[in-house]
Amino acid sequence: MRFTRGLGFSLLALGVALCASLALGAGDVTPLQVLRWVLGDDDGNAGFVVTELRLPRSCVGIVVGAALGVAGNLLQTVTRNPLAEPDLLGVSAASTTAVVIAILLGASVTTLQVWVAVLGAMCGCALVLAAARLRGVGDDPIRLILAGAALKGVLTALVSLVLLLDQRSADEIRFWTIGALAGRGYQELLGVAAPLLLGVLLVAFLSRPLAALALGERVASGLGHRPRLTRWLTLLAVALLSGVAVALAGPIAFFGLVVPVLARALVGPDIRRTLPLCVLLGPAVLLAADVVARLLVRPSELPLGVVTAVIGAPVLVAVVRAHRLPRL
């Protein structure tokens, strides 16, 4: 019953966020004009804005939100750390750094292959796994986050150095450092289809082994699973999903933290229940944040990464200040 209620709430939240994303911002068309166009009014301007501007952007937001929400849930489960998420642990920063270096070496946004972002995320995941295996670091959620923050700081400094050395393409690189959905559409979605499909297949395969691993390595081994293989495949899935998200929208701060926290609050810690909710809640939260980014400083837009940082920072503080961190 609890899962059913959580699933219903998540579907409702996604429906409301999608309607708001199609009705507000990105084009000089009012919600009433959009409603009339949906009901059959032959308004060419409203039809163009919805189908050519807002709908492709919303589709990109759905994919990015689902990918980051699921990646955050997987990373928190495999590290047994409720604070873990791709941005805080430096995975997104590693992916962004790989993209920026590729652009510095001559690639352009239009020709950039998503596998560059995925490769960078894989390197970030390998460093996370190495840090989690260190004595005294992996057992302490705060120290693991500090290790990730140090990695992110180093990589951010490297990206800043690249920006100083390559002013000519600074505007092109800046997109990958702040996070945004503006200007993304169906062509970019087709470009990430292969790694996205591979990541989805891995997630479908890993839900049962990860649920067993949450009970402990001995229990998982006793049930016939292989914990070491499960960890590596999970980090590969995180790298694929994080790389897809960075390739589409750049780094989105705190997003992989907020969505799993919401999912666990609705249905508890079992990953077999939180994963479906992350697929729905991730797009709902991201589309809502994107609508806020469009409306706050009209006619301009705020970077999406700024809005998610404002939303996610209080959640991080609330989790850290909890008397007892939730166990995974």
Per-residue DSSP letters for 98-126?
HHHHHHHTT--TTT--HHHHHHHHHHHHH
What pLDDT shows up at residue 133? Answer: 65
Q: How many CB atoms lie within 10 A of CB 164?
A: 9
pLDDT along the chain (328 residues), means of 10: 86 92 80 83 79 88 91 84 76 81 72 74 77 60 71 81 70 66 80 87 87 78 81 85 84 81 86 89 90 81 78 70 55
What pLDDT shows up at residue 135? Answer: 59
Return the amino acid letter for 27: G
What pLDDT shows up at residue 132? Answer: 63
In degrees and rounded to multiples of 5, residue 108 shows phi and psi of -115, 165
Buried residues in 54-84 as b, exposed as e (16+ CB within 10 A): bbbbbbbbbbbbbbbbbbbbbbbbbbbbbbb
What pLDDT shows up at residue 311? Answer: 75
3-state secondary structure of 72: helix
Return the amino acid letter for 257: L
What pLDDT shows up at residue 30? Answer: 83
Structure tokens at 23: 């009705």
What pLDDT shows up at residue 15? Answer: 92
Q: How many CB atoms lie within 10 A of CB 310?
A: 14
Measured between alpha carbons, how far is 315 from 238 in angstroms, rounded to an integer?
A: 22
What pLDDT shows up at residue 230? Answer: 85
What pLDDT shows up at residue 283? Answer: 92
Is this prediction's pTM over 0.75?
A: yes
Structure tokens at 7: 């699933």
What pLDDT shows up at residue 176? Answer: 63
**Cis-peptide into 299, omega within 30 deg:** yes
Spell out the alpha helix ranges (H) of the chain: 2-23, 31-38, 44-48, 55-79, 91-104, 114-133, 141-165, 170-178, 186-191, 193-213, 217-222, 227-249, 255-267, 271-295, 304-321
Measured between alpha carbons, how far is 187 from 208 in angstroms, rounded to an integer?
A: 34
Torsional sign, CA 104, 106, 107, 108: positive
